[in-house]
Amino acid sequence: QVPQDPAQRRVWELTKLSKQLQRVHPNVLAKVLKQATVYQNEEIVVINKPYGLPVHGGPGIKNCIADVLPILAKMLENMKAEPLHLCHRLDKETTGVMVLARSKKAAEKIRLLFKTRQVEKIYWAITLGDPDPSKGIVDIPMIEKEVQSHQPHYKMTLAPNYRLSPEDGKVVKIRKNRDAESAVTRYRLLASASACSLLELQPITGVKHQIRVHLAYGLGCPILGDHKYSHWSKLSPQKLPEITLKRLKLEQSKARHLPLHLHAYRLSLSLGQQINLICKPPLFFKKTLKKLELEITNE
């Protein structure tokens, strides 16, 4: 049953697309990725990763990018092409720039660039609320913890090195948690309207769910459609401000269908020469920008 309401229809279409990508024949998925190719040379192939497609397999996952890399390589070159190699990963719900290597040697070289932080990554995210200040650096370590609630689950969270003393409210340094990973994200505000913001983000480190956690728990601006990190103690749909619901023509009860608005917009790396790769945001992201009247003036 296709919803009549345009906003709900868009959400329904995305969910349907996600499910379809799980059901299609691997050859069809490889074809989708071939059409999503934005750049290639003798060492790399770059795709604009579709929404809702996992990079790796796992329980309940029938199709993922890793599995169709041999087919994609043959479609792009010829029947004798060796499989493409993954160099980094993006979350299932994240869209945008993804680099694949044509050889094992190239993959190792690129993975090392990622590991030694020589790749510049720029993301765009639509968030609830405005960050204060409007640009800066979030430098708070992160750790995975079990959340005790009506359904216990694991989440990444902040493990700060400082806290406020209950006696006098002063900032006190606390002992670093041994298991916490250093996490640093640079951010700046590009536009703000309808109780939402468009942010440009540059993760300096690459911790799991780093951008989502730094925005939600560090800046108090969760990403639109991030139902996992909008509350700490429970897994429940994000609560949206009245004006946001109005602009999106959405009822709060349908907010759980909203997709995560996080897009890997640009990636720069040096392979002999400097390569700058840009992927335009997907259609649903652009439509949300338009509906929320988030206009970028300086891009």
Q: Report how many domains make up the chain.
A: 2
Q: What is the pLDDT of residues 232-289, one digit of tens each?
A: 777 788 999 999 999 999 889 888 889 999 999 999 999 989 999 999 999 999 999 9
191 and 241: one domain? yes
Does residue 112 sit in helix, strand or coil?
A: helix
Write out the DSSP string of 228-257.
SSS-SS---PPP--HHHHHHHT--GGGGGG
Q: Look at residue 298 in the predicted model and tell me its pLDDT.
A: 54
Q: Does 299 have pLDDT greater than 70?
A: no
91 and 131: one domain? no
Show which of 53, 84, 116 is a domain's final residue: 116
Q: What is the pLDDT of residues 25-40, one digit of tens each?
A: 899 999 999 999 999 9
Q: Is residue 90 part of a domain?
A: yes
Where residue 92 falls among pLDDT bands split at 50, 70, 90? very high
51 and 143: one domain? no
CATH of the domain at 139: 3.30.2350.10
Q: What is the pLDDT of residues 162-213, one digit of tens each?
A: 888 888 888 888 888 889 999 999 999 999 999 999 999 999 999 999 999 9
Question: What's the mean pLDDT in 109-113?
Answer: 96
Q: Is residue 37 part of a domain?
A: yes
Q: How much is the mean pLDDT over the chain?
A: 91
262 and 214: one domain? yes
Q: Look at residue 293 in the predicted model and tell me its pLDDT.
A: 96
149 and 267: one domain? yes
104 and 149: one domain? no
CA proximity to 118, closest of 158, 88, 86, 156? 88
Show which of 96, 116, 136 is a domain's final residue: 116
For residues 4 and 292, the model is more confident at 292
24 and 67: one domain? yes
Q: Is residue 299 part of a domain?
A: no
Structure tokens at 155: 């989440």
What percentage of the chain has pLDDT greater than the value 70? Answer: 99
Question: What's the mean pLDDT in 57-61?
Answer: 85
Residue among 5, 67, 91, 179 flagged as catalytic:
91
104 and 147: one domain? no
190 and 250: one domain? yes
Q: What angle do CA 11, 153, 156 make, to 5 degrees?
A: 80
Q: What is the pLDDT of residues 252-261, one digit of tens each?
A: 988 888 999 9
Write out the DSSP string of 117-132.
T-SEEEEEEEEES--S
Structure tokens at 53: 């497609």
Structure tokens at 33: 């990725």
Q: Is residue 3 part of a domain?
A: no
The amino acid at residue 181 is E
Kindly report the pTM of this predicted structure: 0.91
Show which of 89, 116, 143 is a domain's final residue: 116
Residue range(s) defining the domain that contains residue 258: 120-290
Q: Look at residue 88 in the predicted model and tell me its pLDDT.
A: 94
111 and 125: one domain? no
Q: Is residue 4 part of a domain?
A: no
Q: Is residue 12 part of a domain?
A: no
Q: Is residue 137 part of a domain?
A: yes
Does residue 60 sit in helix, strand or coil?
A: coil
130 is catalytic: no
Q: Look at residue 297 in the predicted model and tell me its pLDDT.
A: 65
91 and 201: one domain? no
For residues 20 and 38, the model is more confident at 38
Determine contact, residues 94/263, Cβ cutoff 8 Å.
Answer: yes
Task: Please state which of the ranges 51-60, 102-111, 191-200, 285-294 shows the lowest mean pLDDT.
Answer: 51-60
109 and 134: one domain? no
Q: Is residue 58 part of a domain?
A: yes
